[in-house]
Amino acid sequence: MGLTMSWSSVLKGLLAVCIFTHLSVSSVESYSCKNEECYNNRCNPIPRTCESSKGCFHLEQKFEAPKGTISGGFASQPASLRLEKKGCSKDECTELAFSATMGNRQMFRYEQRCCYSEQCNNESKRVPPPSSQPNGVECPACYSNNGTCNTVSLKCTGAETECIEVIGRDFISRSVIQGMGCATETACSLRNMTVMEHVKIDTYCFSSSPPLRPISSVLTSLFLMRALL
């Protein structure tokens, strides 16, 4: 009798856990997000939606340079590249905004915003242009895809108060990109991050003096990685 009651209690407990789990999963709110991709303001012909319970995102990336000077992984491209994506987060949505200005005045801006309600990413909110007000910081700057990055001094502006080194690899052109310049603090210590859909970057911030780690050794490693692809 005691054993029968014990098993009965166990089964009731398991049933209660199952019901609670089902109710918890069912109570997770889902909503639709706008799902769209635009390249230089040319968007998908038919806007779509997707369902999410982890957030809608709106990602905008912009790469700018004086006319005719874009090089490296962006060779033979217009002087301004803009990529805008909206959709559903597969994992928990993470907001991130940063900007960097490198040699030859090549500028990159990145901003991802998250929201959590029906069609909340529907509106387009352009990333505001960076401030041109000098902030007193001066950094070595260069931009190259040929392994030689000859630095010049660059006066930083606005919120770009960090000196940065960027090492990137373009999976389409298979070129290695090297840059130095000014950046926001949020651009520091990015690892294996994909930008503009096909470029993987690592970033390192340092004081106004160049980093002690030789850039050439990093490039050598990246060339070896490229050779193994």
CATH number at residue 48: 2.10.60.10
**Average pLDDT of the chain to the nearest whole number:** 80
Of 12 and 171, the one with more pLDDT: 171
Residue 164 CA neighbour count, 13 Å, CB half: 31
pTM assigned to the model: 0.75
Q: If pLDDT is split at 50, 70 and 90, which confidence band does 131 have?
A: confident
In a domain, 175, yes or no: yes
In a domain, 87, yes or no: yes
| For the ranges 76-90, 112-126, 132-146, the one whose mean pLDDT is highest | 132-146
In a domain, 19, yes or no: no
In a domain, 59, yes or no: yes
DSSP assignment string, the chain: -HHHHHHHHHHHHHHHHHHHHHHHHHTS--EEEEEEEEETTEE-SS-EEEEESS-EEEEEEEEE-STT---GGGTTS-SEEEEEEEEE-SS----EEEEEEEGGGEEEEEEEEEE-STTTT-S--PPPPPP--EEEEEEEEEEESSS----EEEEEETT--EEEEEEEEETTT--EEEEEEEE-GGGTT--SEEETTTEEEEEEEE-SSPPSS-HHHHHHHHHHHHHH-
Estimate to the nearest angstrom the gap between the alpha carbon of 35 and the chain centroid: 18
pLDDT digits (tens, 9 = 90+) for 149-200: 899 999 999 999 999 999 999 988 888 999 999 999 999 999 999 999 899 9
- Beta strand 162-170 pairing with 106-115: unpaired
User: Cα–Cα distance between 119 and 63 in angstroms, integer?
Assistant: 27
Report which of 151, 176, 142, 171 is spatially closest to residue 72, judged by C-alpha positions.
176
In a domain, 229, yes or no: no
In a domain, 125, yes or no: yes
Looking at the predicted structure, is the pLDDT value of residue 10 above 60? no
Q: If pLDDT is split at 50, 70 and 90, which confidence band does 24 have?
A: very low
- The total of structural domains in the chain comes to 1
Looking at the predicted structure, is the pLDDT value of residue 223 above 80? no
User: Cα–Cα distance between 55 and 118 in angstroms, integer?
Assistant: 10
In a domain, 215, yes or no: no
pLDDT digits (tens, 9 = 90+) for 28-54: 678 999 999 999 889 887 778 899 889
In a domain, 212, yes or no: no
Looking at the predicted structure, is the pLDDT value of residue 136 above 80? yes
> Residue 28: what pLDDT?
60
Contacts 24+ apart (CB under 8 A), 45-51: 49/119, 50/87, 50/88, 51/88
User: What's the whole-number mean pLDDT along residues 8-30?
Assistant: 55
Q: If pLDDT is split at 50, 70 and 90, which confidence band does 15 have?
A: low
User: Domain of 71?
Assistant: 29-206
Q: If pLDDT is split at 50, 70 and 90, which confidence band does 56 have?
A: very high
Report which of 25, 31, 76, 75 is spatially closest to residue 54, judged by C-alpha positions.
31
Q: If pLDDT is split at 50, 70 and 90, which confidence band does 14 have?
A: low
User: What's the whole-number mean pLDDT along residues 105-122?
Assistant: 93
